[in-house]
Structures are given as structure tokens and as C-alpha cells.
Structure 1
Amino acid sequence: MREDYERWLSAQRVRTLADGQSGDPATLTFPEIPATLPFAGYVVWFHGNLTYLDIRFDHQRFAIVTQQVASAAEAFYFDHLEAAYGHAGDAADPCLILYAKAAGAPVCVVG
């Protein structure tokens, strides 16, 4: 397991126990992050339901809309970490920001 995700998992286990939820920290399960991404950049990943953030312009409503999509290929990829953080902060569901240096490159958790 990658070290960055292992640190995040450890923090989640500590937080879960601090919130009074029972269970052995070693047996609490969290999803495995994707090994690679189809595009380079930063993407918001919702680990609770294994979906990604997508941002599109809706021509009928003449507005920018956000939604969760099942495939990383359908997700919106940010060029800058700050932009991904801004949109992740607006998300109602818990999420992580993943980064891939190139298409098909290993993924790391950056936020």
C-alpha cells in the first residue's frame, strides 16, 4: 500500500475511534485508492461511494453544474491543486484529492 494513503488511513482510524465508534483500528476497512488515472492532473475522489467529481456547463440551464460520476475517465481534472481544494471544500461528501503526473501514472493522495 502506498505510504501517503497509509498515513491517511491511520488518521481515519484515529478519528473514527475518537468519535466513539467501536472497532479494532487494525480491522476498520477503507477503500483502496485507484492505482492509476486515465489523465494527468488533480481529481476529487469520493471514497465513500467510489465516485469522482465532474464539472460541466449545462447549456439548457446556462449554468455550471457539478455531479459525481462513477468513472475516472468522466471526471473533471484540475491543473492546479488549489482549484481542486476549492471544489473539494464545497463537496457535501467526504473526499480526497488524487494526483497523477501523467496518464496511467501511479496515483498519490495530495489532499
Structure 2
Amino acid sequence: MFIAEHIIGGSTLKNSILGAGLGAVLLGIASLKTGNIALSTGLHFAWNSLHWMLGYKDNTGLFVEVVSKENGRQGEIVSYAAYIVVMLFGILTVSQLIKSQKRYNSI
């Protein structure tokens, strides 16, 4: 659903699968481990805020990323690699450090 929402919102298929797909895994694990969406909401807000501050949201942030045309492909590869590393680190961290919240129904 998260991938489809990003495609409908105008993201490319590659960005939707790699970006939103890995993000959905991280946010899903965070929700399942904690039993609520508070951590997922905070992680999503922090990620979007950081992206805005770094100028990745249509270059409207505090900083502006500039990559020359000659280095555009290398910049894209580095960007995807960094994103994948950060998401995998987040997935590993949440899955290992957050204890699962067991919910028992009392009758």
C-alpha cells in the first residue's frame, strides 16, 4: 500500500519500491514491535523533516544539494546506497533493540 501511495503521488517506480518499500518495512517492524504507531509516526516525521532540511523536497529546504550533470549517475548511486544502508540499519536497530509488546486479552 505504501509503494502504491507513493506511485500515485508521483514517485518513480524505482523510488517507490526502494524508498517507500524499505521505509514500509522499517515502519511496519516498528509498529509490530511496539504494538502502536507512535514510533513509526516519529520515524516518518523525522525522516521527512531531515529530507526537507537537506533540500531533498524540491530544493526548498535549508540546504540545497547540487550535483553536476557529469556526476548525476554517480550521485544517484551514492544516494540509493546511503538510503539502503540507513534503512537496513534502522530495521536492524528496531528489530533488535525494541522488545515486543505482548498483548493479552483478559476474559
Structure 1 and Structure 2 fold alike (TM over 0.5): no
Query: Which of these two proteins has the greater Rg computed from alpha carbons?
Result: 2
Going by fraction, where is strand more abundant, 1 or 2? 1
Q: TM-score, normalised by structure 1?
A: 0.30
Going by fraction, where is helix more abundant, 1 or 2? 2
